[in-house]
Structure 1
Amino acid sequence: MDKRYTAFISYSWDGPAHEEWIRNLVNDLRSQGGVDATCDQFEVQEKTVNLNKMMINAIRDNDYVIVVLTSSYAQKADDFQGGVGFETMLSLPALRTEPDKFIFVMREGDYAAGFPYHLRDYYAINFSNDVEYKQKLDELIRRIYKKGKFEKARLGNIPDFGVMLPDNTQVQEVSTYKSVFDDLDLPSANKISDLAKKKFINGSFIEICRLFEELFEQMSRKTSGFEFSSEQIDNQKRVFLLYLNGNQVSGVKIWVGGLGYNTNSICLSYGNHISVRSDNSMNEIISVDVSQHNQMALKMTLSFSTKDESMTPEKIVRSIWTSSLAYSFKL
C-alpha cells in the first residue's frame, strides 16, 4: 500500500476568488488523490493559531509544501513582505537541503512575473488554464506519489563495438593544458549579489533562532528550574528570555541589521538587560564573508576567539552559549 502523504499549500492572499481556488485544490487533492492536504484557511477555523508557528510547523512537518505562484506572491517574496516573506525566509535553508519537499504550481501564465527571483530556475506545474485543470491535477498527484506518467525502458547491454586498429595506426594522446599557476587560489570573476547575501542572512537568522529554541528546550528538559519565553517581534527580530526558578537571569535578542549596518548582518544582544524597542547596542555582529571562490559563510566580527573563522549557525549558537550565557546558570 502506498504511503499516505501530507501537503501544505503556500500561497498569497490575492482575493476571494484565488482563496476559493486554493480551497478547491486542497479538497481535490484530498478527495481525488488521497493526499492529506491542508492550508491556513482550514487550520484557522479549527483552533486558535499562531500564524508564524503554523508556517514553521507546516514546512518542517509535512511531506510536501505546494507553492502556488502568482505575480503578487512573487513580489511579496522578493520584498520579504508579510506571511509570504516569512515563508520565503523559512524555505531558503530547506530548498538547499530538501529541494524535493517543494512542488511549485503556477496559477498565472506569465513565468517572468509569477516566479520570485530565487525560484526562477525551478519547474512549475502550469495551472493557469482552467480548461486543463484535471490534467494538471493528475500531474500534481503523480508528482506527490512519484508515479510518473511515462516509463523508462530497461537498460540493455553495452554494445561490443569490436574496434580494431591497423598495425600502422598511431593513436595520439589528447594533451590537457596545465599551468604552473594551477596551485594558486585565484579569485572567481563572478561576484555574489547583494540580494543573494540578503537571502543568505535571512536564512541564517531563521536557523540561528531555531537552534537557540532547540537549545533552550533541551535546557528545560535537563536543568531543574529552567524556563524560557520566546517572542517574535517581527519577521526579522526575536527575543528569548531565560529564567531560573522563576527569576530572569539572562536573555538573547536577535535581529537583522541595526546601528547603521546594512541589512546583510545579524546582530545579537544578550544578558539580563535587553531592550526590545532600542537596537542601539549589541554584543555581536554576524556578517557575510565571501571567499575567493564565491562561497558564503558567516563571521562573528566582535568575538576575539572566533572573528577569523568561518562559522555556521550551529557554531555561532554554541559559541554564544559557552562564552556568554552558560555562566548565568553556573554550568
Structure 2
Amino acid sequence: MPLGPAPARPVVFVSYSWDSEPHTIWVREVFTNGLRSRGVEAVADVHETDYGDPLDDFMERLAESCSHIAVICTPNYAARARGDIGGVGYEKALIRRFMASAAPGQRVVPILRAGDGTSVPPFLGSRRWVDMRSDVDTDILLDELSALFYGQQLYRAAPIAEPPDWLKKLIS
C-alpha cells in the first residue's frame, strides 16, 4: 500500500562562526554532511562558495529559500552575534527576518557545540537547544534533527491507557 507522496526535502541553512580549523571541519564533515547522509539538504558556505565569492549574496539567497536554520553556537558565535560582527552579525539579521516570517513548521534550531547556555545568543530567545558539545551522541542527535526537519517526531508518547480497575474504583 503506498504511503503517499514523499515529503519535500528540507533545506537547512547552517549558520556558524569560523572559530578554528577543527571547528570548521566538524561543521562541514560531521554536522552538515551527517544531515546530508540522512536525506536533509544541509547547506554551509564551505560547500557552496569559493574564494572570492560574495558571502552576503550566498547568505541572503539561502536564508530566503531554506526551510530551517541550524545555528552552531559557540562562545565566539555568541560574542560576534552580540556585537553584530562580520558574517555572524549579518546572518543574525537574516535569521531574525526568517524567524519573523517563518511558516508553521519552519524552525531555527540552536546547536550548542562549545561553551554553556550563554553561548546561545540572546536573539535566539528561549528556543530549546541541542547539546552537541560531546561527540558521543552525535549519530542519534543527527537522527533526531533529521526527523524534526522532515516534520516528524522521532520519539512518540505511548497512548494513554484506561485507568486500572483499582483506580476506577477510587475515582467512581
TM-score (norm 1): 0.43
Contact 1:8 1:65 in 2 (8 A): yes
Q: SS state of the match for residue 59, structure 1?
A: helix
Contact 1:5 1:36 in 2 (8 A): yes
Looking at both structures, which has the greater relative contact order when contacts are Cα pairs under 8 Å and sequence separation is at least 6?
Answer: 2
Partner Cα distance (1:14, 1:41) in 2: 14
Matched, 1:11 2:20: no
* Cα drift, residue 18 of structure 1: 0.3
* Cα drift, residue 155 of structure 1: 7.9
Structure number with the higher strand fraction is 1
* Cα drift, residue 44 of structure 1: 1.5
Q: SS state of the match for residue 155, structure 2?
A: coil
* Cα drift, residue 53 of structure 1: 1.1
Letter of the aligned partner of 1:9 in structure 2?
Answer: V
- In the other structure, the counterpart of 1:64 is 68
Q: SS state of the match for residue 49, structure 2?
A: helix
* Cα drift, residue 49 of structure 1: 2.5
- In the other structure, the counterpart of 1:285 is none
Contact 2:69 2:109 in 1 (8 A): yes
Partner Cα distance (1:117, 1:108) in 2: 16
- 1:4-40 superposed Cα distances (whole Å, 9 cap, x missing partner): 1111211000010000001111111112x11112210
- In the other structure, the counterpart of 1:50 is 54
- In the other structure, the counterpart of 2:122 is 117
Partner Cα distance (2:17, 2:155) in 1: 33
Contact 2:75 2:115 in 1 (8 A): no
- In the other structure, the counterpart of 1:142 is 147
Letter of the aligned partner of 1:74 in structure 2?
Answer: A
Provide structure 2 residue ranges, at least 5 long, that are not aligned to the other structure. Answer: 1-5, 162-172
Q: SS state of the match for residue 56, structure 2?
A: helix
Partner Cα distance (1:122, 1:53) in 2: 27
Mean CA deviation greater in 101-110 or 3-12: 101-110
Q: SS state of the match for residue 7, structure 1?
A: strand
* Cα drift, residue 154 of structure 1: 6.0
Letter of the aligned partner of 1:12 in structure 2?
Answer: S
Q: SS state of the match for residue 54, structure 1?
A: helix
Matched, 1:126 2:131: yes
Partner Cα distance (1:42, 1:78) in 2: 26
- In the other structure, the counterpart of 2:86 is 82
Which entry has the higher C-alpha Rg, 1 or 2?
1
* Cα drift, residue 146 of structure 1: 1.9
Identity of aligned residues (%): 29
Contact 2:13 2:44 in 1 (8 A): yes
Structure number with the higher helix fraction is 2
RMSD of aligned C-alpha atoms? 2.2
**Aligned residue pairs: how many?**
154
Report 1:165-184 matches (<5 A): none
- In the other structure, the counterpart of 1:274 is none
Partner Cα distance (2:138, 2:148) in 1: 15
- In the other structure, the counterpart of 1:34 is 39
Provide structure 1 residue ranges, at least 5 long, that are not aligned to the other structure. Answer: 157-331
Q: SS state of the match for residue 76, structure 1?
A: helix
Contact 1:8 1:64 in 2 (8 A): yes
Distance 1:131 1:155, change over 3 A: closer
Partner Cα distance (1:48, 1:64) in 2: 27
